[in-house]
Structure 1
Amino acid sequence: MADPRRHLPRWRPWHGLLILMALLAPLGVTAWLGGADALAAARDFPAAMLALMLLIAFLCWNLNAARLRLMLDGRAGRLGQRGALGIELASKFALCATPGGGGGPATLLVLLSRRGLPASRGAAVFLLDQGCDLLFFLCMLSAVVAYSLLGEPRWPYPSLIQLALLALALVTLGGGLAIGCLPRLLRRPSASVARWLSGYRRRWLARRLLRCRQALRTTLGLPITTLLAVLMLTAAHWLLRYSLLYLAVLGAGGNIDWLWTFLTQMLAMAASQFSFLPGGAGAAELGVGGLLLPVVGREQAAAAVLVWRLVSYHLYLVAGAPMFLLLACRRRLSLSPCR
């Protein structure tokens, strides 16, 4: 059995090709949607607005790092803000650089295990992180649906909002039931979980799942003030991060409702999971561009997509790659993790 602390996810030559395609995708989509005028509008994007967007991205990284420290609650050794920020950037780089984002959770678990936190407990921290995100989006979508029913927003595709709320509620309910009923599911003789594995491997997987469930219960047993702080940091992170597209549209000369840009990003990022390129490249840009076109001009939408993607995706790769390589090299040189 391989030691999960041994190495970070390995990279192959074809990973570089996929990342290159992902880097070029926003430029190609912008040229296709808006042509030369859109590229010119992106070049004329206000420097002050771009600086504000970069500042917001930096704040989002630090909010996530602070949230990680609260969820760990000292279980991964002494972890300062700088060390948590390094873990955040490295794991987000792996998330953005791998198809489907599979490298992100794996990198997070490896980095936490190097600090003495077993993989099962690290998985519980990751599940709590995802659960907070789901809860936030569920609350936001419920508020948006209520607003669309009580008010008169001029939004296109109103059925998408209800469909997104239903899908998110089903995912949340299904995940909660799976975790809550896990012991019962594992005891079923007809359970189809990992039936292709040998008996030893199935028992090993069952033990890991149960340990993760127990660690999640322990994490949820943190003081209520800590859990509320985690939820507040989650809300602040997503409200800031999902304001980037709104600022990009304003900088490109458009006028748009902030709530529609929030929904646009949420729906487009969900659709991007079906892209084979890292970071959902291609699908994310087309999704956002398609949802912006009925509201703003073609050139403005295309320019906003390019600037938004540069700040929300490419910046993660640029900032996270050095930290990912640094942590990988420190392991090879048998150095201690950064504090």
Structure 2
Amino acid sequence: MSDNFPGALPPDDANFLQRLRPSRLILPVVIGLAVVGFLFYRSYKPGDLAPLANADWRWLLVALLVLAARDLGYIYRIRHLAEGALSWRQSLDVIMIWEFASCVLPSGQGGTAVAPFILEKEGIPLGKGLAYIMVTALLDNIYYVLMVPLVLLIAGAGLYPHEAMQTGFVATLRVAFGVSYIFVTLYAGLMLYAIFVNPRAVRRLMVRLFSFPFLRRWRRKAYQHGQEMVLASVQLRGNGPRYWWHAAVSTAFVWTARYAIIGCLIAAFVPMDMGTFLFIFARNITYKVILLIAITPGGAGIAEGAFPTFFGKFIGTATMTSFMVLLYRVVTYYLYLVLGMVFLPRWVARVFVKQPVAEVKS
């Protein structure tokens, strides 16, 4: 794919393609691989990689199946939320481009920032597309709100990596985790009320809240977000229990699979009982908090650097931990960079059919 997109494209189209241009891959790849290389350089000892020779390939197969099942769950969910307006092929393209965008944009934005545009190019009106994206955000937040008490029961104080206590990291993580949980809970409750009870009251509340001097710069965005909630409410209120049941189950499925990947990969090289597997699953919840606040594209560098702190104790040697960092990022990050490079040119050629797209392939 060329970075020089046709100048005849409308501004929104050109801006979208610029945000996902291939040159944006260079920075996250360099950062991520540099951190992994540093981890290997600092930790490598001859013989530490011996467990690779005794890998349990069944667990590696399970990890790949879980990864595939997660993506199939995402594909099913977006097609269901869009009320069948997307074909299976379109749903696959949407998810692959969405994942690719999550890899090349800062973690705080992720694929959600461009998802309404992707859906609009697939023929879904912007208002409906915003409603569907808001539903995914709402369901994702509710899963998080409900899962945190459960993982606290499973892991207790071990939810945090106390092996890093001497650095003060755990104390900071506790605060970040608690603040994020409170914020997500309040936001999920606000979205529920807005979509199902009184969206206009929520819009007024947001505008008044962001009228304070220190928040006034975001007042326009607050109004826009409130308006999106009103549109989402109009679009979604008529959907019956079956719609919400399938949406909720598919959400629980994809996020459970997402959190289970690390445990499956570690189990391929380290003998593990169910209790340890669940413990790793629980700790993954706090690990994701680090990625949410990362400012690099796809959390590059942050994800690799934080991984040993959270999961090193379950793996053994520092060298094996460095290898596990690389393996985890290959299957959850670099894989989607490659898939995005495959899907994006074909998707652009398909949905931009009314525009000259002569240079979508390299």
Hey, what does 1:173 align to over in structure 2?
186
- Whether the 8 Å CA contact 1:7–1:328 is kept in 2: the answer is no
- Where structure 2 has 5 or more consecutive residues not aligned to the other structure, the ranges are 1-9, 163-169, 356-362
- In the alignment, which residue of structure 2 is the partner of 1:318? 338
* Cα drift, residue 61 of structure 1: 0.8
Which residue of 1 is the match for residue 306 of structure 2? 287
Number of aligned residue pairs: 324
Deviation by residue 1:264-284 (Cα, 9 ceiling, x = unmatched) = 322222212444432112211
The residue type equivalent to 1:171 in the other structure is V
CA deviations over 1:232-283 (Å, ceiling 9, x no partner): 1111112122111111111222537123222332222221244443211221
Q: Is 1:83 aligned with 2:100?
A: no
Mapping for residues 136-147 of structure 1, pairs under 5 Å: 136-147=143-154
Picking from 51, 75, 82, the partner of 1:72 is: 82
Separation in structure 1 between the aligned mates of residue 51 and residue 300 of structure 2, nearest angstrom: 19
Change in Cα spacing, 1:176 to 1:255, as seen in structure 2 (3 Å) is same
* Residue 28 (1) aligns with residue 37 (2): yes
Aligned residue number for residue 61 of structure 2: 51
Provide structure 1 residue ranges, at least 5 long, that are not aligned to the other structure: none
TM-score (norm 2): 0.75
Assess, with a 3 A threshold, how the Cα gap between structure 1 residues 332 and 193 changes in structure 2: closer, same or farther: farther
TM-score (norm 1): 0.80
- The alignment yields a C-alpha RMSD, in angstroms, of 3.6
Q: Which residue of 2 aligns with 1:17?
A: 26
* Cα distance in 1, alignment partners of residues 342 and 190 from structure 2: 39
Aligned amino acid, residue 311 of structure 2: L
How does 1:88-167 map onto structure 2 within 5 Å?
A: 88-100=95-107, 102=109, 104-148=111-155, 156-157=161-162, 164=177, 167=180
Q: What is the deviation of 1:63?
A: 0.3
Q: Structure 2: how far apart are the matches of 1:9 and 1:275?
A: 23
Question: Residue by residue, what CA displacement relative to the aligned partner does 1:303-326 show, whole Å, maximum 9, x if unpaired?
Answer: 322222211111121222211221
Query: For the Cα contact (< 8 Å) 1:30–1:38, is it kept in 2?
Result: no
Q: Deviations over 1:74-118 (max 9, x none)?
A: 4xx3x2222201100111101112223635124321121123333
Query: Residue 23 of structure 1: CA displacement?
Result: 4.8
Verify the 8 A CA contact 1:26 1:282 in the aligned structure 2. Answer: yes
Over residues 13-71 of structure 1, what are the superposed CA-to-partner deviations in whole Å (9 max), with x where a residue is unaligned? 75232133145146325414642558845864554433332222111111001111111
The reply to whether residue 303 of structure 1 matches residue 303 of structure 2 is no
Equivalents in 2 of 1:300, 1:323: separation in Å? 33
The CA distance in 2 between the partners of 1:189 and 1:99, in whole Å, is 24
Equivalent in the alignment of 2:297: 278
Contact 1:121 1:212 in 2 (8 A): no
- Paired with 1:193 and 1:81, the residues of 2 have a C-alpha distance of 46
